[in-house]
Amino acid sequence: MAHVRPPAVAGMFYPGNPAVLQRDVDALLAAAPAAAARQPKALIVPHAGYIYSGSTAARAYALLAPWRETITRVILLGPTHRVAVNGLALTEADTLATPLGAVAVDSEAVAKIADLPYVVASDRVHAQEHSLEVHLPFLQRVLAAFRVVPLAVGHAPPEAVATVLERLWGGPETLIVISSDLSHFLPYAAASAVDADTCQRIVQFDSHIRPDEACGAYPVNGLLLAARRRGLAVRLLHRCNSGDTAGDKQRVVGYAAFAFEEPDA
């Protein structure tokens, strides 16, 4: 019998009705710019409610359209918001459910990292965590058939995260998605300045981003370290904050999307 991780934030961060969810995701993707000329190897994508950061997330996911059939494995890393963990936590479930259906956990890929001392399995860490879940409906609409390796990242040095990514790097069939928002609850102008600086450091592969600068700093830093070593190119796709989308400008949350591409062989 399948061990299913049910959706925790359907109806809150995104619509719980399957038809409405599909319509909304498709509309966000349709409004995003045209696809990239080269296949992204990795994305950094925000994870707030869709009314806040969905349009920014769509800028990244719309790039995947030409590789709908190519990408069959998604390595999905995001920060923990509710349960603290040292290292990286896998779910114990073998299936992740959303209103759009089920996504299988890639057991073959999980086996490749199971021996690492900082990789643990914990349903408790994943049960109420939104940072991974909110990406699944986008992936379900842009990709054909895929499996996922969901990793909730707590306190972990860049080297540990980079080692996990290296083991799972794969070829064109494997996409890495890092879930991260930027600064939290600053006034609009201050957030814009802080986030602009953080984005500049990301495109410079500075793997010393702090959690107050990006809530997904730990997985972001690990990706930046691995990407720098492999000679990836990075592009900032879009940056905004909740004051630009659906919130007031007194206490905003920052969002940005990035795409990473491998060098020519």
pLDDT tens by residue, 27-82: 999 999 877 789 999 999 999 999 999 999 999 999 999 999 999 999 999 999 98
Domains, the chain? 9-169+184-261 (3.40.830.10)
* Residue 91, pLDDT score: 96
Rounded Cα distance between 154 and 68, Å, is 31
Rounded Cα distance between 135 and 140, Å, is 9
* Residue 190, pLDDT score: 96
| Better pLDDT: 57 or 246 | 57
> Which tokens in the block code for residue 144?
């054909």
Q: Phi then psi for 79, rounded to 5 degrees?
A: -75, 160
Rounded Cα distance between 16 and 8, Å, is 10
Find the mean pLDDT for residues 110-134: 95
Rounded Cα distance between 133 and 99, Å, is 11
* Residue 33, pLDDT score: 87
Q: Collapsing DSSP states into helix, strand and coil, what is residue 22?
A: helix
DSSP lists the bridge partners of residue 189 as none
The least confident of 18-22, 127-131, 220-224 is 127-131
What is the pTM assigned to this prediction?
0.97
pLDDT tens by residue, 76-119: 999 999 888 899 999 999 999 999 999 999 999 999 999 999 99
* Residue 58, pLDDT score: 98
Question: What's the 3-state SS for 186-230?
Answer: ECHHHHHHHHHHHHHHHHCCCCCCCCCCCCCHHHHHHHHHHHHHC
